[in-house]
Structure 1
Amino acid sequence: MSGSDTLPSSAETVIVGAGCVGCSAAYHLSQLGREDVVVVEQGPLFETGGSTSHAPGLVFQTAGDKLMSKMASYTRDLYTELDSFRSCGGIEIAYTEERWDFLKRKREWGRSFGVEDGELLSPEEVEAEIPQVNADVVHGGYYVPSDGKADAVGASAAMAERAREKGVEFYGNTKVTDLDVEDGRIRAVDTEKGRIDADEVLVATNIWGPLFGDMVDVDIPLMPCAHQYLVSDELDELAGADQEIEQPLLRHQDASLYFRQHGESYGVGSYNHEPLLVEPEDIYGPDKLDDLGLEYPSLREFTEEHFYENTHPDHDRSAYDCAKELVPALGDCDWETEMNGMFCFTTDGMPVLGETEDIDGLWWALAVWVTQSGGVGNVVAEWMENGVPRLDGDLVDVTDAHISRFQDHAGSHEYVRDRAAQQYQEVYQLIHPREQPEGKRGLRRSPYHPRQEELGAEFYDSDGWESAQWYAANESLVEEYDVPDRPEWLSQNWSKAHGAEHQAVRDRVGMYDLTSFTPIEVTGDGAAEFLQGLLANDVDVSPGRVRYTPMLNEAGGLLADLTVSRLAEDRFLILTGGGRSGSEQGRWISEHAPDDVDVTDRTSGLCGLGVWGPSARKTLEDLVETDLSHDEFSFFSVQETHLGSIPVIMLRVSYVGELGWELYAPMEYGAELWDQVWEAGEEYDVVAMGDATLNSMSLEKGFRLWGTDITPEYNPYEAGIGFAVDLDTDFVGKEALVEAKEAGIDQKIVPITLDEPGDVVDTGRPVVADDEVIGYTTRADYGYSIDAGIAYSYLPVDYAEPGQSVEIEYENRTYEATVRDEPLFDPDRERILR
């Protein structure tokens, strides 16, 4: 408690939740200069009763997501400084050959994302580090000496103490009863001890997050889940253990288990049971804990059947059987501690960060584990104070953790339960990145869906959309086109039809479903002035013209690259990616729009069809009521016309580097649009093309892909799209961009080709030169038109010159590669401008 039990009547910032996330945010805000900060907590300080109180504190830094890895490493460094971290190391063992191959790839993620001390161990080396492990059932291990254990409660108290020195006040045993919102702004926090007027509120309550969402009618798609943790009695194998020297943490992910030392005892954490979901409103309050014999609200009674019997849908043995096989000493022990402890999962396994879209000043930091807690506090504090998310001073990409990423269906309780259960079930599973969920499918379908099914489309779930990746109907083209084989991992959830489609579109004409992309209509007398002040290129062009433009944040980081069509003096159509990226970018545009400008997301109203390839003009010219010749319908122009009786907006743009158009029509005309274009294209051997082909064709052309080649971590000059910036206009982020240009760039994105034809690598792989990791592959695929594997990477400018030799590490193998000039295909744009 700070001072007394009497709450202040007002504060600039109120943080709800004094676990490790709330305390980290308070600490970092205080370090940034905020003084009037109040933290309230329903439980005691700082052993609050949430997941911070019982979390085992494992910090494994390596993840397949760059942001999560970076935040884990930051957490490790911060908690070390606070004397709340022990670097005992961490080992993930492989029980199967498949896991061993995966650990090789995981080590490469670590090297790519800054975890430099990871190494692969033999079974004997694993046993040497953790003597009680049965090396006979281990294929090897991935060891990171700098991993370790965080004392979450201790770290929370230490961060709070430093925050208090800067004026932050903490109040425990203070339950929040409501959040007051008025006129689209947070106004106050109501508690059982009184009301606190507030300019900003950060909710950092983790498992209770959805209850706070209910207070303000905001969907928070997370679900509390329980998993099991047990601590053995003293083991002979750990007798006399030096309390200052601890064994490495241990993860047995093939059995959904983890282990850590407790002096002469051993702890076992288990996800090896069916998902134990808990409704947020059913979490026990402090008044019931004594009756139930529980210590914290985030605990449930231990359920023996989930440890001693196999209830996990994907396993064939119980947690106990797997644990004692790997650590035989556990077969004869008694358990001193047994509990079911809660944490939570979102529908996609990522945190919930950011400010509420329709409520100014209401922020969230939820679904965060101790592993990333310190880093999350830093990111959110920077975001709240300076308007841009940063980690340790560097710009970061929070797209996949942004609260606005969730689509409307994610507000469904049924959907949240289904996907959260899946995330729990798969948390330690060996899941291929392209493996698709089975439940809650078919929610969003384009009007072409029946035709795509007839062609054997392989559908992936893309933010609820059924998105065709390739078509079985094109497998026969493999006899006509050469498509190299892929390594075992990369060949999973892939088809040679992809490579055949790619080459066929270069020869013929392809049809691509654009319906999941996001069309945003901007109208009003002030539309041109508004967009001119928001976007980095000059978009105040004549009606009928199209502009490609970056959209930046205040720090000059890339929020999007957009296609902007001027349809009339007061009407623009902005086109961007689908799903989460479109939602977040659309929100940015809407929030900056003045009162005399209307911004409308037309995703549910328009379908889109890409028609590209040498025969695109021949396919369309007899269908549409406009002249498609190059002189009359030039590149980067737009016309509103009719295709047959269908009203369409036609843009002459091409993301694949071929002649062609994008056509947009009201959704109800979609089926007829597909049928008419398909019938006309049959004369020219039309092929349906999927996302895989779109991506590999655009990669050959050097066209950027949001979320990989372009993220807020980079500015347009680093991303190689400085040509689309007009510094003669004023726009958001210009000041920072001018400073960056004057200072010069230290890195830039470049294409790299593998020297051996037929070789292909994956994303997230280290790029090495002079025995140092100098970058990582942001995007990778095979270039079927140039017959070479392609990867893009941000490299230091000294290594970014064409002809520079580099190496790419993939699956514990080194691939010789060469930096190239771009574009790799059709550099004179002869195909796109014909």
Structure 2
Amino acid sequence: MSTSSILPDEAGTLIVGAGCVGCSAAYHLSELGREDVVVVDQGPLFETGGSTSHAPGLVFQTAGNKLMSKMAQYTRELYDDLGGFRKCGGIEVAYTEDRWEFLKRKREWSRSFGVEDGELLSPSAVEERVPQINADVIHGGFYVPSDGKAHAVEASEEMANLARERGAEFYGNTKVIDLETDDGEIDAVVTEHGRIEADEVLLATNIWGPLFGEMVDVDVPLKPCAHQYLVSDSIDELAGSEREIEQPILRHQDRSLYFRQHGDAYGIGSYNHDPLLVEPEDIYGPDQLDDLGLEYPSLREFTAEHFVENTHPDHEQPAFDAASELIPAFEECDWETEMNGMFCFTTDGMPILGETEDIDGLWWALAVWVTQSGGVGNVIAEWMENGTPRLDGERVDATGASIDRFQGHHGADEFVRDRAAQQYREVYQLTHPRNQPKKQRGLRRSPYYPRQQDLGAEFYASDGWESPQWYEANEALLDEYDVPDRPEWIGRNWSKAHGAEHQAVRDRVGLYDLTSFTAIEVRGSGSERFLQGLLSNDIDVSPGRVRYTTMLNEDGGILADLTVSRLDEDRFLILTGGGSSGTTQGRWIRDHAPDDGTVEVIDRTSARCGLGVWGPNARKTLEGLVETDISHDAFPFFSCQETYVGGVPVTMLRVSFVGELGWELYAPQEYGAQLWDAVWDAGEEHGVLAMGDATLNSMSMEKGFRLWGTDISPEYNPYEANLSFAVDMETDFIGKEALAEAKESGIERRLVPVTLDEPGAVVDTGHPIVDGDEILGYTTRADYGYTIDAGIAYAYLPTDYTDAGQSVEVEYEGERFPTTVRNEPLFDSDREKILR
């Protein structure tokens, strides 16, 4: 049904948006057994006028992010099965030597994330597949034969038809004008043709997403953005349709261009111009479309100056010149089609998925390209139906796409505009993962910030926080400590001060800024019972004790690893990672707290600062400042006390993430500067130094401590992560049944460290670990261990490969590095340093 004359009065699940994302969600929900799915769209079915209607449908399966790669692979397979995919292959060419080296790494990511048919091509081999290309201007290409083109409208219609067979209903020409809520729950969707009550609503509206956010007072941090697409007239290399095999889709990322075949014509997509941001309320309506001669609301007028003039801030050539240099036939052709087509960018380039925290039953699936659309529909359907995101039946880490990742400042329009524009500019750029944004900086600063500036901190932006990575002041330590050089790419945006800091903290005492870590207080008469059912370890300990534990979803996937300090009988302090991880984890805790008044959950993050004091001289530094006995017997490892440090009230934990003697100190924010100064002054005679995130990372790797989001995530359970010591199966907690089933069926992979055999060698994350031709896993985290003097990587390997001493290899930048599986921890296995 493509009209809206007989809308239902109610629906179990109502989806707004009948593009490829909404249709995929309906298809997958109906496949999971939902029969009361209703889909509405303001446009005609199924060429609705959104991005699906004009998108070129390029499915390049390899991304630097595992989730995005896996969803693209699923989309390709799904649309291929439905007849909405053309497997023609995809090639990314290298215009520069830097890009050629990047493509070597990208091929390795593809192998790590399951795309196994990629290969590197010489310029002549690229020309064989794309005869119109000028092979003289490229270094080669990365070719994936299974890439191709999704016919998004056709795929959407086929998914809708299959969903209809299972009871779903689709209504076009039905504009939604309001969303109604009642007592924190979604209640109804109001359309121009009537009101539909619904138990759940999924908004798959892409560029219109922020307008729906305004209806319910929810910030949706994305901006619609236009980029250019042109189709040539016939060109000789494609004329006559003599080629039986369609050419591969093509990317020229060094100039922000892509290309695809249209019969005997050739299309150009260009991001090689200024970001053309569009406010959602300024998207054209039907009357304006008629006046402007545009076919869809997601189109804008073609702006020729952005094609022939150089307006991209990072490129030296305008789009036309760059395209013609690569494809000389464009010099003589005319253009049959010219348009500016809209899609959207979030502040970090990832989709927005999940349920609104304050409105039960209101779900979002926004900022999704055709490339991942089929996979997103599967993930969101599993999430809605079964409570946890899954992809093709497997656990998946969707945290990076969760709507819960956003912080308070993400609601500011200025921030969204600047960061969305940055994402647009960088979408095809060769951007180093440690490159830092220049705008919207300094939003969140710890009270130590001026002291860190004085020490020459190299600040990285981390969810609004300014997080020191290393300190220029510590470069003086290079006279004392040797630090191996790093290869060109992995050595960019890095300093040898990191290696010197690492070694000096092992010898002295380091101060680490913990302010950005998430601090959540749980209190009330029911707090112990609540936490016991929420967390995997036994937290029924006496006041003054600290527990390390995991927090799991119903599938047994790790949502967090955290410490729980029992401050009193009915008062606990939970400490976990900062920024987006803390926000998502904090929501899980709040969502599962009882509403009977026996438990209060309070986020203390913005009210507190934190300071790690770690190293063999930590006790010597603190003992004259602390108003309590901090000897090992009086203040043992994994204990806590509320006391005073130099006149500052603190919650003090005997915990160390670097594997050395030390404490974490947490105080009200206003005392922060005094806390830093008091500890710094006391530590000067003991060689005190400031340490940054880079040092925390490498030191924790040597000690075998897990980092959430890399080593552990919802994709893995505690047994796979070798965290069984954080699980007490004598207690009842969320995920226990799934863990018991996993243990009974057998653990097939485990997280283990490997060290590189070559002295001084270091690799990066996301690269395959192999035995001959077999891909065993990939590096989840990698760095150099300056104490053990070897490169380290962690990886989930099949259990047959987890015994210490076995030899495997890491692929990195086209080379294979011999590595050896090791027992952990690699440093201080007898715990003599941390327990002294």
Shorter chain as denominator, the TM-score bin is over 0.9
Aligned to 1:730: 732
Residue identity opposite 2:484 in structure 1: P
Native 8 Å contact 1:514 1:607 kept in 2: yes
Q: Give the superposition deviation at 1:243.
A: 6.8
How far apart, CA to CA, are the structure 1 residues paired with 2:79 and 2:117? 19
2:750 to 726, 732, 748: 748
Native 8 Å contact 1:185 1:360 kept in 2: yes
Q: Give the superposition deviation at 1:744.
A: 1.3
Aligned to 1:766: 768
Aligned to 1:179: 179
Counterparts of 1:202-601 in structure 2, within 5 Å, are 202-242=202-242, 244-595=244-595, 596-601=598-603
Q: Give the superposition deviation at 1:2.
A: 6.3
Runs of 5+ consecutive residues of structure 2 not aligned to the other structure: none
Q: Give the superposition deviation at 1:186.
A: 0.3
Q: Which secondary structure does the structure 2 equivalent of 1:374 belong to? A: helix
How far apart, CA to CA, are the structure 1 residues paired with 2:101 and 2:217? 45
Native 8 Å contact 2:549 2:561 kept in 1: yes
1:691 to 687, 690, 693: 693
How far apart, CA to CA, are the structure 1 residues paired with 2:379 and 2:35? 18
Q: Give the superposition deviation at 1:241.
A: 2.5
2:673 to 671, 677, 680: 671
- Size of the alignment, in residue pairs? 834
Q: Which secondary structure does the structure 2 equivalent of 1:577 belong to? A: strand
Q: Give CA-to-partner distance per residue, 1:559-609, whole Å, 9 cap, x none.
A: 000100000011000000000000000000001001221111111100000
Residue identity opposite 1:88 in structure 2: C
How far apart, CA to CA, are the structure 1 residues paired with 2:4 and 2:311? 49
Q: Give CA-to-partner distance per residue, 1:211-250, whole Å, 9 cap, x none.
A: 0000000000000000000000011121122475210011
Q: Which secondary structure does the structure 2 equivalent of 1:489 belong to? A: coil
How far apart, CA to CA, are the structure 2 residues paired with 1:601 and 1:242? 66
Q: Which secondary structure does the structure 1 equivalent of 2:808 belong to? A: strand
Q: 1:509 to 1:4 in 2, by over 3 A?
A: closer
Native 8 Å contact 2:549 2:563 kept in 1: yes
How far apart, CA to CA, are the structure 2 residues paired with 1:456 and 1:414? 29
How far apart, CA to CA, are the structure 2 residues paired with 1:816 and 1:687? 35
How far apart, CA to CA, are the structure 2 residues paired with 1:139 and 1:770? 28
* Mapped pair 1:800 → 2:827: no
Q: Give CA-to-partner distance per residue, 1:349-401, whole Å, 9 cap, x none.
A: 00000000111000000000000000000000000000010000000001110
Q: Which secondary structure does the structure 1 equivalent of 2:489 belong to? A: helix
Q: Give the superposition deviation at 1:801.
A: 1.2
How far apart, CA to CA, are the structure 1 residues paired with 2:4 and 2:643? 71
Residue identity opposite 2:346 in structure 1: T
Q: Give the superposition deviation at 1:770.
A: 3.3
Native 8 Å contact 1:58 1:150 kept in 2: yes
Residue identity opposite 2:626 in structure 1: V
Q: Please, what is the CA RMSD of the aligned residues?
A: 0.7
How far apart, CA to CA, are the structure 2 residues paired with 1:805 and 1:748? 16
Native 8 Å contact 1:697 1:783 kept in 2: yes
Q: Give the superposition deviation at 1:757.
A: 1.5
Aligned to 2:189: 189
Aligned to 2:653: 651
Residue identity opposite 1:446 in structure 2: S
Q: Give the superposition deviation at 1:287.
A: 2.7
Q: Give CA-to-partner distance per residue, 1:90-129, whole Å, 9 cap, x none.
A: 0000000000000000000000000000000011111111
Aligned to 1:16: 16
Q: Give the superposition deviation at 1:755.
A: 0.6
How far apart, CA to CA, are the structure 2 residues paired with 1:579 and 1:763? 21
Native 8 Å contact 1:242 1:263 kept in 2: no
How far apart, CA to CA, are the structure 1 residues paired with 2:483 and 2:235? 57
Residue identity opposite 1:683 in structure 2: E
Native 8 Å contact 2:4 2:172 kept in 1: no
Q: 1:2 to 1:250 in 2, by over 3 A?
A: closer
Aligned to 1:607: 609
Give the percent of matched residue pairs that are identical in Structure 1 and Structure 2. Answer: 78
Native 8 Å contact 2:3 2:174 kept in 1: no
How far apart, CA to CA, are the structure 1 residues paired with 2:336 and 2:2? 36
How far apart, CA to CA, are the structure 1 residues paired with 2:679 and 2:668? 16
Q: Give the superposition deviation at 1:758.
A: 0.3
How far apart, CA to CA, are the structure 1 residues paired with 2:179 and 2:250? 42
Q: Give CA-to-partner distance per residue, 1:507-562, whole Å, 9 cap, x none.
A: 00000000000000001110011000100000111000000000000011100001
* Mapped pair 1:80 → 2:89: no
Q: Give the superposition deviation at 1:759.
A: 0.4
Further displaced range: 270-279 or 731-740: 731-740
How far apart, CA to CA, are the structure 2 residues paired with 1:59 and 1:795? 29
Q: Give CA-to-partner distance per residue, 1:48-93, whole Å, 9 cap, x none.
A: 0000000000000000000000000000000000111011000000
Q: Give the superposition deviation at 1:742.
A: 1.3
How far apart, CA to CA, are the structure 2 residues paired with 1:171 and 1:684? 72
Native 8 Å contact 1:564 1:574 kept in 2: yes
Further displaced range: 233-242 or 189-198: 233-242
Aligned to 2:101: 101
Q: Give the superposition deviation at 1:799.
A: 1.2
Q: Give the superposition deviation at 1:800.
A: 1.3
Residue identity opposite 2:675 in structure 1: L
Q: Give the superposition deviation at 1:652.
A: 0.1
Q: Give the superposition deviation at 1:288.
A: 2.0
* Mapped pair 1:739 → 2:735: no
Q: 1:289 to 1:42 in 2, by over 3 A?
A: same
* Mapped pair 1:628 → 2:630: yes
How far apart, CA to CA, are the structure 2 residues paired with 1:177 and 1:622? 66
Q: TM-score, normalised by structure 1?
A: 1.00
Native 8 Å contact 2:3 2:171 kept in 1: no
Q: Give CA-to-partner distance per residue, 1:402-422, whole Å, 9 cap, x none.
A: 000000000000100000000
Residue identity opposite 1:802 in structure 2: A
Native 8 Å contact 2:4 2:173 kept in 1: no
Native 8 Å contact 2:614 2:660 kept in 1: yes
How far apart, CA to CA, are the structure 2 residues paired with 1:74 and 1:629? 56
Further displaced range: 307-316 or 235-244: 235-244
Q: Which secondary structure does the structure 2 equivalent of 1:240 belong to? A: helix
Q: 1:2 to 1:131 in 2, by over 3 A?
A: closer
Q: Give the superposition deviation at 1:269.
A: 0.2
How far apart, CA to CA, are the structure 2 residues paired with 1:242 and 1:74? 32
Native 8 Å contact 1:471 1:689 kept in 2: yes
Residue identity opposite 1:664 in structure 2: Y
Q: Which secondary structure does the structure 1 equivalent of 2:180 belong to? A: strand
Q: 1:243 to 1:362 in 2, by over 3 A?
A: farther
Native 8 Å contact 2:224 2:343 kept in 1: yes
Runs of 5+ consecutive residues of structure 1 not aligned to the other structure: none
How far apart, CA to CA, are the structure 2 residues paired with 1:689 and 1:539? 31
Q: Give the superposition deviation at 1:658.
A: 0.1
How far apart, CA to CA, are the structure 1 residues paired with 2:540 and 2:209? 44
Q: Give CA-to-partner distance per residue, 1:782-823, whole Å, 9 cap, x none.
A: 000000000000011111111111000000010000111100
